[in-house]
């Protein structure tokens, strides 16, 4: 079974979508470990699902955070690292070691509304301020830039009249819960075909 590790910083609803789909057999993978960079509900979700979990306090570890993550996921035999609302910056050494094996989900149609400072509700505020007619979410490979890696898949969401950042965020999150597991399934299929090394 394909082994994944999930990194979280918040509520972990995207993590939950992966757990649910792997338990139902819709997604052919095991969540081997969940790592939070702070105490958060995402880590609690892992506990409730009986998944090995770790909290690595980014404020204490600072530059050692990625080394600790690397150690844990290597020991667990993780084949794909999934950033699901993970807010710490992944350093270059880690990215280079796991190149092509780290993915992230972002709440906009990249390359629009990505980059430094663009996360969470700030993305949706920026979309509305710019008067965009549509937004959505993107799953992409992680490279040494911010939100700049190769795009795996996207889902589009119409911006409605009267939308607030919160209402737009809620509708996009529903699509994220579909897109992330679909993207993982696509990677697993490619690996089984020998495309993914």
Q: Which residues are annotated as a binding site?
A: 12-14, 63, 104
- Give the closest residue to 150 by CA, choosing from 183, 118, 117: 183
Answer whether the bond into residue 177 is a cis peptide, omega within 30°: no
Asked whether 140 and 154 are in contact (CB, 8 A), the reply is: no
CA distance 152 to 84: 15
Classify residue 145 by burial, with Cβ atoms within 10 Å: 0-12, 13-18, 19+: exposed
Structure tokens at 172: 């996009």
d(CA 4, CA 29): 7
Question: Count of CB atoms within 10 A of residue 174's CB?
Answer: 14
Indicate if 106 belongs to the active site: yes
The rounded distance, in Å, linking the Cα atoms of 137 and 103 is: 13
Residues 121/112, Cβ–Cβ less than 8 Å: no
Catalytic hit among 106, 124, 140, 177: 106
For the four alpha carbons of 16, 18, 22 and 27, in that order, the dihedral sign comes to: positive
Catalytic residue numbers read 106
């Amino acid at each position: 079974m394909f082994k994944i590790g999930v990194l979280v910083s918040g509520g972990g609803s995207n993590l939950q979508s992966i757990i649910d789909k792997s338990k139902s057999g819709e997604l052919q993978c095991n969540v081997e470990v969940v790592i939070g960079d702070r105490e958060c509900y995402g880590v609690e979700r892992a506990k409730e699902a009986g998944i090995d979990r770790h909290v690595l306090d980014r404020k204490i570890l600072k530059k050692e955070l990625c080394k600790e993550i690397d150690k844990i996921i290597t020991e667990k035999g993780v084949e794909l690292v999934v950033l699901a609302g993970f807010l710490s910056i992944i350093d270059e050494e880690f990215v280079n070691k796991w190149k092509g094996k780290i993915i992230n989900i972002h709440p906009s149609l990249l390359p629009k509304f990505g980059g430094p400072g663009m996360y969470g509700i700030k993305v949706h505020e920026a979309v509305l301020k710019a008067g965009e007619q549509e937004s959505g979410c993107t799953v992409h490979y992680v490279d040494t830039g911010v939100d700049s890696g190769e795009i795996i898949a996207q889902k589009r969401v119409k911006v409605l009249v009267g939308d607030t950042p919160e209402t737009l965020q809620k509708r996009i999150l529903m699509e994220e819960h579909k897109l992330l597991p679909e993207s993982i399934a696509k990677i697993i299929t490619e690996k089984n075909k020998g495309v993914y090394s």
